[in-house]
Structures are given as C-alpha cells and as structure tokens.
Chain A
Amino acid sequence: MSTRGSPRTYEPRVIRVDTARSVDNACVSSSSTSPTRTRRPSATGVRAPSVQRPPVGHPPSLPPITPTTFPRPAYLDRSALRHLLQTEPPRLPGRTEPVTIRVGSPGHSAGRSRRRSPSSDSDEEDVSPPRELPPTTPSVLLSSSPILRLPTRWSDAYRNDMLSLSYDGRELIYHGVSSSADKDAAAARTIYPIPPACGIYYYEVEITSKGNKGNISIGFMGRDVKVSRLPGWEKNSWGYHGDDGSSFAAEGRGTPYGPEFGAGDVIGCGIDFCQNRAFYTKNGTLIGPVFENVGRDCDLYPAVGLCHSGESIRANFGHEPFKYAIEDHTRRQQNLAWDKIQSKPLEWPPISGMKYENGAEGSKDAPSGSSLTAEERVKVPINQLVLSYLAHHGYARSARAFEAQCKSRGGLSHVDSLTRIPPPISSASRSIHDHGMDMDDVTSGEAQEGDIELRTRIVGSVTTGDIDTALIETQTHFPSVLEREEGLMLFKLRCRKFVELVLEAAELKKKMKMEESEMTMETEYENSDVFKREWADGMDVDDGASPSLYAGSMVSNGHGASSAAIPIKAKRKQSFASSQHSWGAATALQYGSALEKAVQYGQILQSDYKDRPEIRAIFKRTSVIMAYDDPLEAGGDAAEVAGQGARVALATELNQAILRSQGHPTHPALEKLYRQTAACVIHLALLGVGTAAFADMPREFLDA
C-alpha cells in the first residue's frame, strides 16, 4: 500500500481477526489501538508490518499497489500556493512518516487534526491511530515550506470491505451480495484530504459498471465518517446521487439538483473554497453550485458510495485530462475573487480595524481636501511610499524628478509633505518625530537630497570595490555607523578591503600566468618533481594554520616575490616556469608586492581583532579565499566571500546602517507592505480561505 515510489520488499500484513462482517468507522478506530497492532522500531529502516482489517467478501491479500505518480493537474496552478501542492509524498531520506501540515485554525482544531504521531513508522496513513493527538500550537504548524498533499487515490483503510480497490488506487468495485440498497451501502474516501489552499479542487468519477442501474453517490466526507453509508447521509458528508439526481448534505432525503447518472457517465465533483460551495459536472457540462459551508468544520476528502453488486467506478484525480474545462472554470473564479478584493475603495491608512477603530472613516484626518475623493486622498501617502522607496535605495535622480513632479501637479495641494523624505534627523531629536505625522515639520529638500547622494556614493563605492573611499566618507559623514556594535561595520569593511587586496593579487597572478603559458610554449620548460614536492610538503592549507600567516611566510621565503603563487592545494599543477624571463618579470614583481600588501593587511586585521572571538570567525571565513588561485572562479565558499554578490550584500548592509544611524527604517515601507501582505494572504490561504489562495501576488504584482 505504499503511496511512495521507494522500492521495498513485500512483507506480510498482520491480519486482525475480526468477526464483525460490517466494518465501519468504529472498527477502524479500534483497530489502531488494538493490541494486535504490531510495531517495531524503524531505526534500521525496515518497514514495520502494517495493520489491515480483514478483507471480507472480496479477494484477500491484494498485492501491494504500485504507486502512481503524476504531475500536479494544471488547474491547480491558479493557487498562489501551488508549489506546496503535491500529488505524491516526496522521498525524504530517513523519514517514513508523511508529514501533513495544517495551519492551526481556531475553528478547526478539535476533531480534525491531520497530524499523526511522529513515532509512527508506517508509510500509509490508514493504519495510524485516528485518535486525537495533543493539540499542537498553531504557530509551529506553519513551517516555512509545508507540504500539502493532494488526494491521488482511494484509501485502503477508509473504505468499506465490500469495495475492492484496484492496484493503482483509483478503481472501486462493489463485491457485496446486495439486497436492499440502504443496508449495504459501501463508501470509500481518499487517503489525503483536500488542501483548502487549492482554492478549487476537482476530480472526476467515471461509472464503469455494466448495465446495472445503481444508486451511486459522489461527493465528499470528513475524516471519520462511516463507510457503511452513502456520502450525503451522514454528518460531514455531501453527495450527488445517481438514482434520482438529488443532492444530499447530511440528510436522508435529498434535494432535487441535477440529472440522474449511471453507467458510462463521467461525473465531476468540485469544491470552491472561496464560498465553501460544491459544484458538479456531468459528461463535461457544469450542473451548478450546490451545498453551503462544505468543509468549514472538517477536513474534506473526496468520497464515493456504491450499493449494488457489480457496480464500479473509476476516479480521475488529475492524472489524465478532465472532461470538464476545469482550468477555465478556475481562471474565472480566480478573476472573480480578485475583483472582490479590489472592489472596495482604498482608504488611508489601508488597515481596517486599526485606524478606523474610533469610527473615524479616515476623512477626518484628511489634510485639507474635503473636496477630494478617497481615491485622491490616498495619493499623498502613496507618493510618500514611492518617494521613500526611491530615497532608500539611493535612486537620487529619480527621487528628485519624482518630487519635482509631485510638487508641480495641480490637484495635489499638500505635496509639500513629500519633502520630509528623508529628513536628516539626529538621533537626539528623533523623539520629536516619533510622535507622528506633523505636516509642518518639514525639513528642507535640498539638504536631504545631498544626503541621499552622499549615501548613494558611499554605498556605490562598496559595490565597485573601492573600500577606502567608503571607509573615509563614512568616517567623515556618518562616524557613528562605524562605531556601532563595537565597530562591527568598520571591521566588516576592513575585511572586505582585505578581500579586495587578495583579488587584486589574484588578478595579477592570472596575468602573470598567461604570460607564462605563452612562454612555456616556447621554452618547453618542465616542472621539476622536486620543486612540486616541496610545495606539496610545505604548503598544505589544511593544517589549520591561518592561511594569511602562512601566505606571509611564503612571501618572505625567497621564491615568493619572483615566482610564487598563492599555494593551491587543489590546483597544484602549476608551471613555475620562466618567471625570470624578462617580460614576465614586471608582472611578477607587481604580483609579489600586491600579495605582500594583502598579507600584511590580513596580519594587521588579525592582530587588531585578536581579542574578539566573534569577529575572528568572520575573518576566518574571509581568509579562506587566500587558498585559491582565482577565488572568483573557485566556486563554493571562496566565490561567495569574494564575488560581486558579497560586495552588494555588504553595500546593502552599509546602506541600512547609515539609514539606521539617521533614524530611518532599515527597510523601505514598500517592502514591508509587500511582505506583510504576502504573510497575511499565505496564512489565510492555508487556513482555507479560498479567495486568499487565488490572490496570487507574484502573478498580480511581479510578473512583468
């Protein structure tokens, strides 16, 4: 019964003796706590035998079903959380327990925990105890990348024994000797419930039985609904019945809904989590929405029920094309959901419940514009949002042009408030500004623009590797930046300077080697083995010695200055040929002195910070680049330390440090806005708010 593709040997199942012919939910529950339930530690990776209820009334001992994998159905791409939706559990080494994650939801905690005991060594959820686990705190349930499993097959345990299941888990055949329909109803549900983050979930069922006119129900059920009843009869179950075309929602008498269906028909069944309503299709045609509050209080599993011998169905969980154009359907619903969110006019500030608590509808706070619509009023803060973003990242010319245009625009009478960005406030006077939006408290625009440009220049010089300029300018204009956290920023900049020196040397070395190789072609000079061994013995960088000190000793030991390389363990095959040759000599000399300079700087750094273990760790990581010929192409750590990405990261850090020293936020408001919005929407989607699942932020906002 593996739902996974990992190869394993078949092991006999432990068959529990059970005399009860009609096995229902109660038995399923008890089986899990039954003493016959055998478990053995899975530390060795051996699969524990799983427990199975007695196969009564149909061929015993089904061979293990071959797991069927298929890609996620295309219609699910409409969900903003599509990347979390998986048709098959991933293979996690050393972990056999499928982890199903559910965001804690106040309304849903009791009676619907999907989590199973972490000690369970089964790979099938069917044998795990349905009893409740201690409630887990909701916050930990949302890991940064929860996996949401899609229903892909009928459960082997949560099915009535009169139904036999095909190898691929999609086909069910009724084997019971049927007499009266009601008594012998047999239902099954899928292994995994439907993740509400789908937005819309849809599956189709083909009635494959021959001839028999049956009473087949197609729909949904909760986790522990009796499998001896048709979906729709019990609480937490919903069904569309083929014999009379009625819909049933926890009731014995149905409501007329759609056409009857029977052998040969394909019935589609969907749930739209935007309204928690179901919908059905018949042979590719939409019948319409039905039921209210589907799945609001329970997990929702696709479910079918059959009543007569010979009846059979085959489900399509998306492994093959659907009859109904579900992709179009989902796209329409997504657009509707988006329009709904966007239909309300924007107020400022845009957070309801926070600023509107006192009943003030925002208009009271409007600066001057009683004649302005809400739409116009929000333009001012939006412009502030934009301008502060431009200033934050140092787009000085854009910021200036934008500000000028805002000012010249007629309809906005209070654009002068824009000049507050970014006011150069000393930390001493910050408290005044903290008290809120005072429109009169405007600092002159000219001074600020100078600030932006200065900051941009400093940050820019880090990006281009000119650390000296950055150090000097920061020292001159923002000395507190270098002093904070006992000079952490200063140290980081100096570290970078060291890296730049090493890179300079490496560049010269490359040049030198090029010249050498041209030479080698002429002179056919071979390395001597003795020479190589000498390098290998003395210069192993693995010995724990500080690479910089080591490199320093090399410089002073004689060959360094004229012919040496930074010793490279991995790339030791070097031609040390002919550096004496006249046209290599100049470069070699330059290289020697560059290397010496780098090493000396490294030694100074080392000694300046020798009493600061926390800082030495950073330095240690930095100095690894000494071990490479060409750190930029070395890949891994070295390239990470040396590359342009590291410069940009440091520049960003310095930018934030300067902004912070001026009392500005370290992240632009726009970025906070985006992150806050995304966090809310993702959380809502995981809670089962379908509209949120369809609010696909990357698609709406980021795709070009």
Chain B
Amino acid sequence: MPPKTIIRREEWERRLHDVQVTKDDLNRLIMDYLVIEGYKSAAEEFSQEANITAAIDFASIESRMDIREALQRGDVHEAITRVNDLNPEILDTNPALYFHLQQQQLIEHIRHGRIQEALTFAEAELAPRGEESPEFLSELERTMALLAFDSSSLAPSAVSELLSPAQRMKTAGEVNAAILESFSQGKEVKLVQLLKLLAWGEWMLSERAEFPKLDLQAALPGHGEGMGEDEYMHE
C-alpha cells in the first residue's frame, strides 16, 4: 500500500462546507424515516411543522403498524388477517413471506406449549410447503427441533433464537417491507442507507488517506463539541 495522503482538518472542513445540502433535504430524510418506520403521529406533526408532504397517506402507516404490533405480541393470525384486508395480493404473490408468517405461527404455538396444535398446524399447513422448496424444509426442520427440547435454554442457539423477540421483529420487518413495496414506496430507510454509505466511504477513504473521521456518537447532543465550529449550512 502506498503511503497515505493527509487531508488536514481545515481542508476537510472546507469540503464539508462545500457539500450541497439544505434543511429541506434533510427534512425529507427525516420524513422518510418516520413514514417507513411507522411513527405516524410524529410524521403528521412533522408534515405540519416542517411544511412537507409525505408520499404516503398516514392512515396506511397506522394499519402497517397495527400489523407490526400484532406480530410483536405473537398474534400471527391477526396480522395475516390485516395484511389480507390491506391488500390480498401481498401474501398471494410472496410465498416466502407467507411461509415465514406460518412458521412464526408455529413458533407461537410451541412457545405457549400448545403441542397438539403445533403438530396439527405443522402437518396441515407447513409440511406441504416444505416440499416446495429446500429452504422452507430446512426452516421447518429447525422450527420443529424446538419440540425436542424441554427448555429452550438447552437447545442450540440456532434453534433457541427462534423464540427470541428478534425472530418476531424479523418477521415483522419482512411484512413491513412487503407492504411498503406494494405501495411502491422504498422499503429501506434512507437514513440507514446513508449510514451504510458513510461506513463504506470512511473505510474506503481511510485506506487511501488520513482525514478527520466523524464521531457520530459525539455529534449527538449531550456530548458537547459544539464550541467554535465552522458554520457550513448556507441557507
């Protein structure tokens, strides 16, 4: 690797200053986050206070969030009903998503010790799907393995993690993304994409140059460093 160039702070500050971005631009990034992540009332307030419109109607945020909440409390049946109310095509056109919802249903049965129901459900609903694809089959096997352990603490983590809240959130996230897609709304939060781009960009550049990195944690309020900063927002 050749020696790295060094970009001094003043020079870097000047470049930061030259970046073209306005408050309205950033407001839209915030709105995108509020909408996609389903902060309905915040989105409504923000649309008034910042005088911007969201590309989606606020009522749909609510039903999306209801579905998410249903999944997070383990009520898969409710979630499936609501998704179908919203748009029946979502599950029809998305077999993997439907399978994951049913898998979640099976997990909920097992979690609550409804062994008989779990077996019946697995046999009637999931086994036929398992024949459709190897991916479904291995997921089904992994889930059924839960039954083999008395207590989930004895199970290998690949199995026991199915009972974690993260599994519910994963399923909820998948449903959320599918619904957003059905509205032709971007499904990944732009703010997250921006953070990923930062991580990539700083890493790539740090292989080629020494430059002032951004300590985001410190840039959040409560961490000072506000004194004597350059002003770079041109209004």
> Could you mark each residue 424-452 of chain A with 1 if its beta carbon is under 8 Å from any beta carbon of chain B, else 0?
01000010011011000100000000000
Is residue A349 contacting chain B, with contact meaning CB distance below 8 A? yes
Inter-subunit contact B39/A405 (CB<8 Å): yes
**Residue numbers in B under 8 Å from A361 (CB-CB):** none
**Residue numbers in A under 8 Å from B45 (CB-CB):** 395, 397-398, 400-401
Inter-subunit contact A674/B235 (CB<8 Å): no
**Residue numbers in A under 8 Å from B6 (CB-CB):** 139
With A and B bound together, what is the CA distance between A549 and B199 in angstroms?
Answer: 58
Tell which of B26, B40, B195 touches A382, judged by Cβ atoms closer than 8 Å. B195
> Could you mark each residue 659-689 of chain A with 1 if its beta carbon is under 8 Å from any beta carbon of chain B, else 0?
1100111111111111111111111100101
**Residue numbers in B under 8 Å from A398 (CB-CB):** 42, 45-46, 49-50
Given contacts A382-B191, A422-B222, A663-B224, A411 and B197 within 8 Å (CB-CB): no
Given contacts A391-B221, A648-B235, A665 and B226 within 8 Å (CB-CB): yes
**Residue numbers in B under 8 Å from A674 (CB-CB):** 19, 21, 25-26, 29, 194
With A and B bound together, what is the CA distance between A481 and B21 in angstroms?
Answer: 27
Inter-subunit contact A425/B222 (CB<8 Å): yes
> Could you mark each residue 27-70 of chain B with 1 if its beta carbon is under 8 Å from any beta carbon of chain A, else 0?
01110011000011110111011100001000000000000010
Is residue A38 contacting chain B, with contact meaning CB distance below 8 A? no
Is residue B149 contacting chain A, with contact meaning CB distance below 8 A? no
Given contacts A349-B217, A421-B221, A390 and B30 within 8 Å (CB-CB): yes
**Residue numbers in B under 8 Å from A676 (CB-CB):** 16, 198, 202, 213-214
Inter-subunit contact A433/B223 (CB<8 Å): yes
Max count, chain A CB within 10 A of own CB: residue among B69, B216, B229: B216
**Residue numbers in A under 8 Å from B18 (CB-CB):** 144
> Could you mark each residue 154-171 of chain B with 1 if its beta carbon is under 8 Å from any beta carbon of chain A, else 0?
000000010011101110
> Could you mark each residue 104-142 of chain B with 1 if its beta carbon is under 8 Å from any beta carbon of chain A, else 0?
000000000000000000000000000000000000000
Tell which of B168, B170, B196, B233 touches A346, judged by Cβ atoms closer than 8 Å. B196
> Could you mark each residue 20-39 of chain A with 1 if its beta carbon is under 8 Å from any beta carbon of chain B, else 0?
00000000000000000000
Across the interface, name the chain B residue whose C-beta is closest to A365.
B217
Given contacts A352-B203, A353-B203, A430 and B224 within 8 Å (CB-CB): yes
A-B interface pairs (CB < 8 A), number: 277
Inter-subunit contact A342/B198 (CB<8 Å): no
**Residue numbers in A under 8 Å from B72 (CB-CB):** 410-411
**Residue numbers in B under 8 Å from A672 (CB-CB):** 16, 214, 216, 219
**Residue numbers in A under 8 Å from B153 (CB-CB):** none
**Residue numbers in B under 8 Å from A264 (CB-CB):** none
A384 to chain B, nearest CB (A): 5
Tell which of A351, A352, A433, A698 touches B222, judged by Cβ atoms closer than 8 Å. A433
**Residue numbers in A under 8 Å from B183 (CB-CB):** none
Interface residues of B in 141-192 (CB under 8 A from A): 161, 164-166, 168-170, 173, 188-192
Is residue B77 contacting chain A, with contact meaning CB distance below 8 A? no
**Residue numbers in A under 8 Å from B214 (CB-CB):** 351, 672-673, 676
Is residue A652 contacting chain B, with contact meaning CB distance below 8 A? yes
Is residue A104 contacting chain B, with contact meaning CB distance below 8 A? yes
**Residue numbers in B under 8 Å from A133 (CB-CB):** none
Inter-subunit contact A376/B197 (CB<8 Å): no
With A and B bound together, what is the CA distance between A689 and B190 in angstroms?
Answer: 22
Max count, chain B CB within 10 A of own CB: residue among A664, A665, A676, A687: A676
**Residue numbers in A under 8 Å from B16 (CB-CB):** 672, 675-676, 679
Given contacts A106-B2, A106-B208, A351-B214, A671 and B21 within 8 Å (CB-CB): yes
Inter-subunit contact A139/B11 (CB<8 Å): yes
Across the interface, name the chain B residue whose C-beta is closest to A371.
B164
Given contacts A344-B196, A401-B45, A701-B193, A660 and B23 within 8 Å (CB-CB): no
Given contacts A402-B34, A676-B16, A681-B197, A373 and B39 within 8 Å (CB-CB): no
Inter-subunit contact B166/A433 (CB<8 Å): no
With A and B bound together, what is the CA distance between A400 and B41 in angstroms?
Answer: 10
B33 to chain A, nearest CB (A): 6
Inter-subunit contact B232/A675 (CB<8 Å): yes
Secondary structure of the A contact surface, majority rule:
helix
Given contacts A398-B46, A401-B41, A679-B15, A373 and B29 within 8 Å (CB-CB): no
Max count, chain B CB within 10 A of own CB: residue among A139, A391, A434: A139
Given contacts A106-B3, A680-B204, A683-B209, A660 and B226 within 8 Å (CB-CB): yes
Inter-subunit contact A139/B7 (CB<8 Å): yes
With A and B bound together, what is the CA distance between A141 and B113 in angstroms?
Answer: 69
Inter-subunit contact A700/B190 (CB<8 Å): yes
With A and B bound together, what is the CA distance between A423 and B199 in angstroms?
Answer: 28
Inter-subunit contact B199/A346 (CB<8 Å): yes
Inter-subunit contact B215/A354 (CB<8 Å): yes
With A and B bound together, what is the CA distance between A647 and B101 in angstroms?
Answer: 54
Inter-subunit contact A420/B15 (CB<8 Å): no
> Could you mark each residue 379-406 of chain A with 1 if its beta carbon is under 8 Å from any beta carbon of chain B, else 0?
0011011101111110111101110111
Given contacts A667-B233, A669-B220, A679-B16, A105 and B208 within 8 Å (CB-CB): yes
A664 to chain B, nearest CB (A): 5
Is residue B86 contacting chain A, with contact meaning CB distance below 8 A? no
B96 to chain A, nearest CB (A): 18
Inter-subunit contact A652/B33 (CB<8 Å): no
Max count, chain A CB within 10 A of own CB: residue among B4, B45, B173, B214: B214
Inter-subunit contact A371/B15 (CB<8 Å): no
Given contacts A678-B21, A687-B208, A689-B204, A397 and B216 within 8 Å (CB-CB): no
**Residue numbers in B under 8 Å from A702 (CB-CB):** 21, 25, 28-29
**Residue numbers in A under 8 Å from B223 (CB-CB):** 433-434, 436-437, 665
B29 to chain A, nearest CB (A): 6
Inter-subunit contact A381/B220 (CB<8 Å): yes
Max count, chain B CB within 10 A of own CB: residue among A395, A437, A665: A665
Tell which of A106, A107, A385, A405 touches B41, judged by Cβ atoms closer than 8 Å. A405
Is residue A15 contacting chain B, with contact meaning CB distance below 8 A? no
Across the interface, name the chain B residue whose C-beta is closest to A434.
B224
Tell which of B23, B170, B194 touches A677, judged by Cβ atoms closer than 8 Å. B194
Is residue A378 contacting chain B, with contact meaning CB distance below 8 A? yes
Is residue A697 contacting chain B, with contact meaning CB distance below 8 A? yes
A-B contact pairs, 22 of them (CB 8 A): A138-B7, A139-B7, A341-B196, A351-B215, A352-B199, A354-B202, A371-B164, A395-B49, A396-B49, A397-B45, A405-B40, A410-B73, A411-B169, A433-B222, A434-B224, A667-B233, A670-B29, A670-B191, A672-B214, A677-B194, A684-B201, A700-B193
**Given known contacts A139-B7, A350-B196, A405-B40, what 19 new A-B pairs fall within 8 Å (CB)?**
A107-B2, A144-B18, A342-B196, A349-B215, A349-B217, A350-B195, A350-B199, A353-B203, A382-B33, A401-B41, A433-B222, A664-B222, A669-B219, A669-B221, A674-B194, A676-B198, A681-B197, A683-B7, A704-B28
Q: Which residues of B contact A (CB under 8 A)?
A: 2-8, 11-12, 14-21, 23, 25-26, 28-30, 33-34, 39-42, 44-46, 48-50, 55, 69, 72-73, 161, 164-166, 168-170, 173, 188-206, 208-209, 211, 213-217, 219-227, 229, 231-233, 235
User: Closest 4 CB pairs between A and B?
Assistant: A680-B201, A402-B42, A398-B46, A669-B219
Q: Which residues of A contact B (CB under 8 A)?
A: 104-107, 138-139, 142, 144, 341-342, 344, 346-347, 349-354, 371-373, 375-376, 378, 381-382, 384-386, 388-393, 395-398, 400-402, 404-406, 410-411, 420-423, 425, 430, 433-434, 436-437, 441, 645, 648-649, 652-653, 656, 659-660, 663-684, 687, 689, 692, 695, 697-698, 700-702, 704
